[in-house]
Chains A and B, each alone.
Chain A
């Protein structure tokens, strides 16, 4: 513990408030130039899915429509994630700046922050910051406006198409894709939707140039990332670290010397057992050797006092409630997985039934309509496969 293996980065929460100066400089540059900086930085979506941000903005800027939108996804609902709240508390102007620049580039006049209902207490502060920001925009001759849209308690609304359905006043059910938001998003208009952290990184990239960001991280996992660290750790909190780090180094820094598993990426992510810490790197899948795990930044540590059965059961209870319920594999699959492990634990089903459940989780991964249903298999299979004995006895 506390070995300080990993370099602490200080970009996102860096105390800097020169919004008007930065914006006026950015607004003088061409859109192509700005997009090239963003692409050059290697920034990928920090919500977890990791779509290249520059490309997303470029595609949306090329979409032909009079009306376009920028949405900041602040529906931070993944268990174990709490970094976006802190960004919006401490440095909201960076996020607002990222939105305004995006609006300029793609040709949108309106931006929304979809703020989860659980963070309603942030609204007064955030609205103040938005007012201040609007004054700066006005001074610079921009009529871009940002508004908060409040969620009302639905994890699935973090999924971008559900979020847009929710903003349209409907049940937050994921849409069929294609079309993607870059083409048809909010109200059927081309829309850029980015995670809070992604937009905050844009500030750094536009202020300091793409190189400063690109120099951090490895290969195709560039830059720094905020990690929400919780569970069995003496130093729970939010940390900005470089992508590409080894999980062993992470555990050495943050664990309590008795860490048996780390859940990377929240309930929708993967559970890595101690024996695989060394071969696991945190970053986007691709050129990293060994296992590489992308993440929205949720890192939950479990020590040997924890029952992984209880952990999995808690996740499955979460999914069973938070699935939107529209597609069969997710709605029924989540119930079957939950009731299935309970039945095995109680001895009502033979332990071989776990194999049937593993196959089911694979089917869910392949056939569910959206990322939620597809990702339930991640925690399920990684926990059942690595801690099978805890599921049975």
Chain B
């Protein structure tokens, strides 16, 4: 244990470990110090200066977030000096910020607005510097960057470089010209941006927001000639509540379905159905590759196989590891499998002309907006998924419709492509796809359930950045003789910085895995760029617990047991990796530029 340090904050004694910052020490006393550039996910910047506090005896104020405590320190967090300075700093930020709050996408959920309200900044004496010269980049299908709303706290840059190691955003120029910029200030859609949206959930203001499609969805719903199908990703049901005044980790599946029906969607279906389908396809692909590599010595489809359901990860891979594209599973993500089937299989079943069908998906993700826009994603003959909304956008629609969310009854998804299993539910957490795949693959190969208590493969769960697990395969069924005694080596990584580390090791042949699950966002989809703001590890943990609870409460917990999945193979697809699957459920990848 490290040394303890004693200090006084606002006259109250507190004892903390050496190395603790003043901000953390104050937190311990439940004294709130305002912050803007500080975020628990990120390294300390100390640049907004909103958190300045007075150290008794010093003529300078110090940034509470960046200053470690010392023995005997006396801190004042609300002295006249501090209040005046803090007010000046907030005023300065407002003076370079387009403070036209009523016209801002983040109106009502903005950290700068909250501070301005708290400090009652009513008369803005400083000269307005936010005039004219700023650009708004709204060409990306996922993210809008409005420099006039930017307060240059650099959270987004730290997110993009440290957390995600994407490096699409950087701080450029200096002095009054200093700004957050892409390479040569190109449009976000032209650069290495993966559309993961982590910058969006880390931005304190409206400088980086999702591109919204709410109005287009309302238009579709209002159009009597259109049949509007909606699919909901697994992480939405454990995130949505937060946007509608429920606690983090509230499971709201039934209420969400009920709300979607009230909003006027014609068919309310579940992306989890195609998550189960993904497991069938990807699990089969894994077994196929294992056989090809281990028995036939055919390395044209090499190992390790990596998952492909996270579109941020897919684009990152295309930019960063163009020589390794054949490692990525050819399976489309559950969203895109769903889209392709909605306008083929489902349309036929319910007898709707696919041209009159509008396919909407609700995702915890901003990259899904980009994914739906990829030119390959038109295997149904039309755009497979027309509009993608984030969890946050769905909450906006629910509020706009005047629905009292917490009072809603619980309802069930419509049938055909509405049924799912616990295996699909856990897709929303990092490690979930791996766990779901193992539950199915192990059983296909051995005829027995995966040897973990209650099917809970705990080694692949948790928030550790990179996790490894291996499963010994014994007493296999006759078809899988070549796997007898084999140890299936798996790796799970979340957050693109971790993904890069793992893939560099694979590239340098430092590790030998068979299967790697990667999710672009820290925590997996539950911490996706389309989820409620704020998101941090404490909240991720709560959402994660909710996901595993939901899984534990399901009767069906293995993808291959989903009766609708069994049915679709029988009626429509034939078999996993079969001809029809290949056409509708699989895709290809492309090398992309490096800036």
Do A and B have CB atoms closer than 8 angstroms in the complex?
A: yes
Q: Is B156 an interface residue (CB 8 A)?
A: no
Partner of A353, one of B48, B89, B125: B125
Contact (Cβ within 8 A) A328 B95: no
Q: Is A321 an interface residue (CB 8 A)?
A: yes
**Binary interface profile of B, 297-324, with partner A (CB < 8 Å = 1, else 0)?**
0000000000000000000000000000
What residues of B have a CB within 8 angstroms of the CB of A329 in the complex?
49, 88-89, 92
Contact (Cβ within 8 A) B152 A331: yes
Contact (Cβ within 8 A) B63 A176: yes
Contact (Cβ within 8 A) A156 B44: no
What residues of B have a CB within 8 angstroms of the CB of A323 in the complex?
174-176
With A332-B92, A369-B46 known as contacts, the answer to whether A356 contacts B125 (CB < 8 A) is yes
With A331-B178, A366-B85 known as contacts, the answer to whether A325 contacts B173 (CB < 8 A) is yes
Contact (Cβ within 8 A) B61 A366: yes
Partner of A340, one of B67, B68, B127, B174: B127
Q: Size of chain B's interface in residues, with CB distance under 8 A?
A: 38
Docked complex: A291-324 residues within 8 A CB-CB of B:
319-324
**Binary interface profile of B, 155-177, with partner A (CB < 8 Å = 1, else 0)?**
00000000000000001011111
What residues of B have a CB within 8 angstroms of the CB of A369 in the complex?
46-47, 49, 63
Q: Is B352 an interface residue (CB 8 A)?
A: no
Contact (Cβ within 8 A) B175 A334: yes
What residues of B have a CB within 8 angstroms of the CB of A359 in the complex?
84, 88
Docked complex: A323-371 residues within 8 A CB-CB of B:
323-329, 331-336, 339-340, 343, 353, 356, 359-360, 363, 365-369
Q: Is B31 an interface residue (CB 8 A)?
A: no
Q: How far is the CB of A112 from chain B (nearest CB, A)?
A: 22
Partner of B175, one of A176, A321, A368: A321
Q: Is A381 an interface residue (CB 8 A)?
A: no
Q: How far is the CB of B128 from chain A (nearest CB, A)?
A: 10
With A176-B63, A366-B85, A367-B52 known as contacts, the answer to whether A324 contacts B96 (CB < 8 A) is no
What residues of B have a CB within 8 angstroms of the CB of A340 in the complex?
126-127
Contact (Cβ within 8 A) A335 B129: yes
Docked complex: A171-188 residues within 8 A CB-CB of B:
171, 176, 178
Q: Is A97 an interface residue (CB 8 A)?
A: no
Q: State the CA gap A353–B45 with chains docked (Å).
A: 32
What residues of B have a CB within 8 angstroms of the CB of A325 in the complex?
152, 171, 173-178
Contact (Cβ within 8 A) A363 B89: yes
Q: How far is the CB of A356 from chain B (nearest CB, A)?
A: 6
What residues of B have a CB within 8 angstroms of the CB of A12 in the complex?
none
Q: Is A200 an interface residue (CB 8 A)?
A: no
Contact (Cβ within 8 A) A366 B60: yes
**Binary interface profile of B, 44-81, with partner A (CB < 8 Å = 1, else 0)?**
11111110100000011101001110000000000001
With A178-B68, A325-B176, A332-B96 known as contacts, the answer to whether A368 contacts B152 (CB < 8 A) is no
Q: Is A374 an interface residue (CB 8 A)?
A: yes
Residue among A171, A335, A363, A369 with most chain B CB within 10 A: A363
What residues of A have a CB within 8 angstroms of the CB of B45 in the complex?
326
What residues of B have a CB within 8 angstroms of the CB of A171 in the complex?
171, 174
Instruction: Using CB atoms, name the residue of chain A closest to B62.
Output: A367
Partner of A324, one of B127, B151, B175: B175
Q: Is B194 an interface residue (CB 8 A)?
A: no
What residues of B have a CB within 8 angstroms of the CB of A328 in the complex?
47-50, 89, 92-93, 151-152
With A156-B174, A320-B176 known as contacts, the answer to whether A326 contacts B61 (CB < 8 A) is no
Q: Is A154 an interface residue (CB 8 A)?
A: yes
Q: State the CA gap A366–B82 with chains docked (Å).
A: 10
Q: How far is the CB of A158 from chain B (nearest CB, A)?
A: 14
Contact (Cβ within 8 A) B61 A367: yes
What residues of A have a CB within 8 angstroms of the CB of B60 in the complex?
365-367, 374
Q: How far is the CB of A177 from chain B (nearest CB, A)?
A: 9
Instruction: Using CB atoms, name the residue of chain A closest to B44.
Output: A176
Q: How far is the CB of A365 from chain B (nearest CB, A)?
A: 8
Q: Is B390 an interface residue (CB 8 A)?
A: no
With A335-B129, A366-B81, A369-B46 known as contacts, the answer to whether A360 contacts B174 (CB < 8 A) is no
What residues of B have a CB within 8 angstroms of the CB of A365 in the complex?
60
What residues of A have a CB within 8 angstroms of the CB of B47 in the complex?
326-328, 369
Contact (Cβ within 8 A) A343 B174: no
Q: Is B271 an interface residue (CB 8 A)?
A: no
A contact face: mostly helix, strand, loop, or mixed: helix
What residues of A have a CB within 8 angstroms of the CB of B129 in the complex?
332, 335-336, 339
Q: State the CA gap A356–B125 with chains docked (Å).
A: 9
Docked complex: B82-103 residues within 8 A CB-CB of A:
84-85, 88-89, 92-93, 95-96
Q: How far is the CB of A226 from chain B (nearest CB, A)?
A: 29
Residue among A319, A322, A360 with most chain B CB within 10 A: A360
Contact (Cβ within 8 A) A368 B174: no
Q: Is B154 an interface residue (CB 8 A)?
A: yes
Contact (Cβ within 8 A) B49 A332: no
Instruction: Using CB atoms, name the residue of chain B closest to A171.
Output: B171
Contact (Cβ within 8 A) A176 B66: yes
What residues of A have a CB within 8 angstroms of the CB of B152 in the complex?
325-326, 328, 331
Contact (Cβ within 8 A) B178 A367: no
Contact (Cβ within 8 A) A332 B93: yes
With A368-B49, A369-B46, A369-B63 known as contacts, the answer to whether A336 contacts B126 (CB < 8 A) is yes
Partner of B59, one of A327, A331, A366: A366
Contact (Cβ within 8 A) A324 B95: no
Q: How far is the CB of A191 from chain B (nearest CB, A)?
A: 20
Q: How far is the CB of A335 from chain B (nearest CB, A)?
A: 5
Docked complex: A209-254 residues within 8 A CB-CB of B:
none
Docked complex: B123-146 residues within 8 A CB-CB of A:
125-127, 129
Q: How far is the CB of A367 from chain B (nearest CB, A)?
A: 5
What residues of A have a CB within 8 angstroms of the CB of B46 in the complex?
176, 327, 369
Q: How far is the CB of B142 from chain A (nearest CB, A)?
A: 27
Contact (Cβ within 8 A) A335 B176: yes
Q: How far is the CB of A166 from chain B (nearest CB, A)?
A: 12
Contact (Cβ within 8 A) B95 A336: yes
Residue among B48, B81, B85 with most chain A CB within 10 A: B85
What residues of B have a CB within 8 angstroms of the CB of A339 in the complex?
127, 129
What residues of A have a CB within 8 angstroms of the CB of B44 in the complex?
176
What residues of A have a CB within 8 angstroms of the CB of B96 in the complex?
331-332, 335
Q: State the CA gap A100–B467 with chains docked (Å).
A: 49
Q: State the CA gap A317–B173 with chains docked (Å).
A: 16
**Binary interface profile of A, 81-125, with partner B (CB < 8 Å = 1, else 0)?**
000000000000000000000000000000000000000000000
Q: State the CA gap A331–B96 with chains docked (Å).
A: 10
Q: State the CA gap A276–B44 with chains docked (Å).
A: 44
Q: How far is the CB of B451 from chain A (nearest CB, A)?
A: 47
With A331-B152, A332-B93, A336-B92 known as contacts, the answer to whether A324 contacts B125 (CB < 8 A) is no
What residues of B have a CB within 8 angstroms of the CB of A156 in the complex?
174
Q: State the CA gap A225–B52 with chains docked (Å).
A: 36
Instruction: Using CB atoms, name the residue of chain B closest to A340.
Output: B127
Q: State the CA gap A332–B50 with chains docked (Å).
A: 13
What residues of B have a CB within 8 angstroms of the CB of A178 in the complex?
67-68
With A154-B174, A332-B93 known as contacts, the answer to whether A343 contacts B127 (CB < 8 A) is yes
Partner of B49, one of A324, A353, A367: A367
Q: How far is the CB of A159 from chain B (nearest CB, A)?
A: 13
Q: What 19 additional pairs, Cβ within 8 angstroms, besides A366-B52, A369-B46?
A: A156-B174, A171-B171, A171-B174, A176-B63, A176-B66, A321-B177, A325-B174, A326-B152, A326-B154, A327-B48, A328-B93, A332-B96, A334-B175, A334-B176, A336-B126, A339-B129, A360-B88, A363-B84, A368-B49
Name 28 interchain pairs, CB-CB below 8 A, sorted by A: A319-B175, A320-B175, A321-B176, A322-B174, A323-B174, A324-B175, A325-B171, A325-B173, A326-B178, A328-B47, A328-B50, A328-B151, A329-B89, A329-B92, A331-B152, A331-B176, A332-B92, A334-B175, A335-B129, A340-B127, A360-B126, A363-B84, A363-B85, A363-B88, A366-B59, A367-B89, A368-B49, A369-B47
- Name the 3 nearest CB pairs between A and B, nearest first: A325-B178, A332-B92, A176-B66
Interfacial residues, chain A to chain B (CB-CB below 8 A): 154, 156, 171, 176, 178, 319-329, 331-336, 339-340, 343, 353, 356, 359-360, 363, 365-369, 374
